[in-house]
């Protein structure tokens, strides 16, 4: 049975896209059929996967419009792994989001679109935008689980409460099945006292399924569309993302 997982946090720059890409690739290399959905108008996941948004015939926008395109026409295979695919994004998603506000049952637009393809995948990962917008609400309404990347600083930690409240509201009103699968602590620096304090707080309050250290390895190879788990599988960050993928296999 397909599990849909949103990678969500209203803050930017906390490794949502990096985590989505590397966890997806790790699971695909384990033989799982994986679909990534770039749900951010910045299209960072699309670009990271080696695609140029402006050159694509169809994007996630086409499945969100009132006269929607078939979802299968918006899916592109990832060049390096046959069982990994992506629905790309484009800057037009920002304008489309405004129009979604007036739609009937607007929280479920994405969920309805994905119903027809879930049988083809073991996992669907949604890379959410860095704000609690109608796009993020759609992702949460469509998913079974939420994985929350959280930078190990105080403001990021405090921001988790707002996201928790949003998920609780969605669970009560729109998607009773959604659960927080776990938190991934990101950009962690072992030698920074505050980072250790926040990591300890995260462990006390949440289920921490991985700790991603701050490293330049995360962004190397991005222009070639190659995630770190493929480019340098022995790197600490790669090993940790594989551990997170295995934890998702166990929990999800």
Q: So what's the pLDDT on residue 221? A: 60
Backbone angles phi, psi at 125, to 5 degrees: -110, 130
Three-state DSSP at 149 gives: strand
Low-confidence ranges of the chain (pLDDT < 70): 219-223, 252
* CA gap 149, 17 in Å, rounded: 10
pTM for the full predicted model? 0.95
Three-state DSSP at 82 gives: coil
* CA gap 239, 250 in Å, rounded: 17
Q: So what's the pLDDT on residue 222? A: 66
Find the helix or strand (DSSP H, E) in which 179 lies: strand 179-188
Can you spell out the DSSP letters for 49-68? Answer: TT--GGG-S--THHHHSSSP
CB 64 within 8 A of CB 103: no
* CA gap 2, 103 in Å, rounded: 27
* Number of neighbours of residue 162 by Cβ within 10 angstroms: 13
Helix axes 154-173, 193-205, angle to 10 degrees: 20
Can you spell out the DSSP letters for 198-234? Answer: HHHHHHHHS-EEEEEE--GGGTTTGGGT--HHHH-TT
Three-state DSSP at 39 gives: coil
Listed by start position, the domains of the chain span 3-251
Q: So what's the pLDDT on residue 87? A: 98
Q: So what's the pLDDT on residue 99? A: 85
Q: So what's the pLDDT on residue 29? A: 96
Report the CATH architecture of 3-251: 3-Layer(aba) Sandwich (3.40)
């Amino acid at each position: 049975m397909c599990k849909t997982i949103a990678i969500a946090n209203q803050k930017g720059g906390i490794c949502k896209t990096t985590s989505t890409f590397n966890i997806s690739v790790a699971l695909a290399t384990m033989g799982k059929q994986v679909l990534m959905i770039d749900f951010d108008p910045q299209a960072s996941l699309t670009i990271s996967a080696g695609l140029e948004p402006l050159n694509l015939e169809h994007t996630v926008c086409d499945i969100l419009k009132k006269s929607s395109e078939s979802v299968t026409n918006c899916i592109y295979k990832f060049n390096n792994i046959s069982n990994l695919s992506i629905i790309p994004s484009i800057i037009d998603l920002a304008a489309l989001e405004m129009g979604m506000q007036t739609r009937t049952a607007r929280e479920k637009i994405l969920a309805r679109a994905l119903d027809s393809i879930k049988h083809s995948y073991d996992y669907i990962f949604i890379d959410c935008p860095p704000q609690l917008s109608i796009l993020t609400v759609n992702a949460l309404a469509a998913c079974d689980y939420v994985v929350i990347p959280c930078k190990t600083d105080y403001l990021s930690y405090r921001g988790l409460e707002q996201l928790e409240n949003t998920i609780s509201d969605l669970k009560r009103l729109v998607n009773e099945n959604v659960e927080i699968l776990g938190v991934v602590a990101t950009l962690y620096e072992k030698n920074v006292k505050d980072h250790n304090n926040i990591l300890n707080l995260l462990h006390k309050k949440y289920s921490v399924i991985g700790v991603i250290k701050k490293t330049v390895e995360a962004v190397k190879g991005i222009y070639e569309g190659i995630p770190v788990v493929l480019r340098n599988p022995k790197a600490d960050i790669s090993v940790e993302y594989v551990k997170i993928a295995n934890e998702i296999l166990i929990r999800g």
